[in-house]
Amino acid sequence: GAVVSQHPSRVICKSGTSVKIECRSLDFQATTMFWYRQFPKQSLMLMATSNEGSKATYEQGVEKDKFLINHASLTLSTLTVTSAHPEDSSFYICSARDASGEQYFGPGTRLTVT
């Protein structure tokens, strides 16, 4: 099946710093990628839909100035958590949608803000 990678898999940063997470579709082109967040023992919550070459669409309650999304190519979307705080500590998962509409998930990035 299709492969989606995320980098880094785990990151620890200090409060106030920014962290960039990359999501790549390795063997297919993805015009649409999604960014989800999962807190412990909770469901995946959609943060934003990332569209290649255009602005991301954010879900209600997600600050677009805090979570910057760039989808510069058909195989790469990045999420930057700006001025991270401990409450941003979470499991961030991206998914990429292929031409048939099937979604493939990345392995996730575990962010810990100290």
Partner 1 sequence: RKEVEQDPGPFNVPEGATVAFNCTYSNSASQSFFWYRQDCRKEPKLLMSVYSSGNEDGRFTAQLNRASQYISLLIRDSKLSDSATYLCVVNKKGRRALTFGSGTRLQVQP
**Under the rule (CB under 8 A), what is the footprint of partner 1?**
32, 34, 36, 41-46, 49, 91, 93, 95, 97, 101, 103, 105-108, 110
Q: Which is nearer to partner 1, 6 or 78 (CB)?
A: 6
Q: Are 10 and 92 in contact (CB under 8 A)?
A: no
Q: Which is nearer to partner 1, 18 or 109 (CB)?
A: 109
Give least dist CB 55 to partner 1, A.
Answer: 16
Burial class (CB in 10 A: 0-12, 13-18, 19+), 70: middle
Give least dist CB 105 to partner 1, A.
Answer: 4
Give least dist CB 34 to partner 1, A.
Answer: 5
Give least dist CB 86 to partner 1, A.
Answer: 19
The torsion of the CA quartet 52, 57, 58, 64, rounded to 10 degrees, works out to: 70
Token pair in block for residue 8: 């880094």
C-alpha span between 50 and 30 (Å, rounded): 10
C-alpha span between 66 and 58 (Å, rounded): 11
Q: Which is nearer to partner 1, 78 or 92 (CB)?
A: 92
